[in-house]
Amino acid sequence: MQLAHTMLRVRDLEKSLNFYVNFLGLREVRRKVLGDEATLVFLTDASGHYHLELTHNHDGRDYKLGSQFGHIALTTDDLDSFIRKVIAKDWWYRESKPSSTSRYIFVHDPDGYDIEILQSQSGETFAVEHANITVKSIERAVKFFECAFPTWRVRDQGESKRKWLHFGGDTDYVAIEEALIDQPLDRGEYLRPDINHIGFTVSDLAAVKSRLLGAGYREGMHVEPEEGWLRAYFFDEDGFEWEFIEYLLK
């Protein structure tokens, strides 16, 4: 089970979009017009996992803020900068007390809904964007990744001193270069400084294993299921080891 969206009814769609998109930085991902009845606009953040649905009824009806509704919260890496923007617009806001364990402010959207803006805990975010490997054959490497990740695609490719290709999704990928020297891969067997393997998270480990085994790829060490996660290791045709992890949500 995953959260999908929260719906807010708004009086003026353009004013609301100006607040949520232009000021808060959300982006519109879908719009649906229900004839003469209403317009639905779906907004999301950089992750794209959760949506805010703005519903504008075309009949001009008014609304009262319900006393049971609380607020919608967003995080920012720079709360101080956000506060300066609010002050520059001369908007009302309420800031957290110094004794609070987290820093935040509340502002109102154009319809009066409470919007909480929280300072993210680290102030910085980090993620692995890509891994770069040199292989004997780009075609063989792409064949392996196509088998493991059917939705991945060639993002970019070219040739300077050697052929290269980026293969992956929208936010992460594997950079693959073709070797100029033909020599066997001498793996350290986890005994000397080396890259042992690279791991990927997957939502259905059984499906990944079935595709790789069906295509004839060799499975690596067997790992018993552990509380909270499942793991499997496979070797590609060049001898690189790849780990696939499925986290089990409770």
Which residues are part of the catalytic machinery? Answer: 116
Q: Is 58 helix (H, G, I), strand (E, B) or coil?
A: coil
Closest CA to 238 of 221, 223, 217: 217
Please choose, from the candidates 191, 184, 193, the residue with its C-alpha nearest in 3D space to the C-alpha of residue 240: 184
- Please name the amino acid found at residue 210: S
Please tell me the distance from the alpha carbon of residue 75 to that of residue 93, in angstroms, as a whole number.
16
Q: Which of 235, 140, 131 shows the shortest CA–CA distance to 174?
A: 131
Bridge-based pairing state of the strands 5-9 and 51-57: parallel
Close Cβ partners of 150 (under 8 Å, ≥ 6 residues apart): 211
CA separation for the pair 175, 181 (Å, rounded): 18
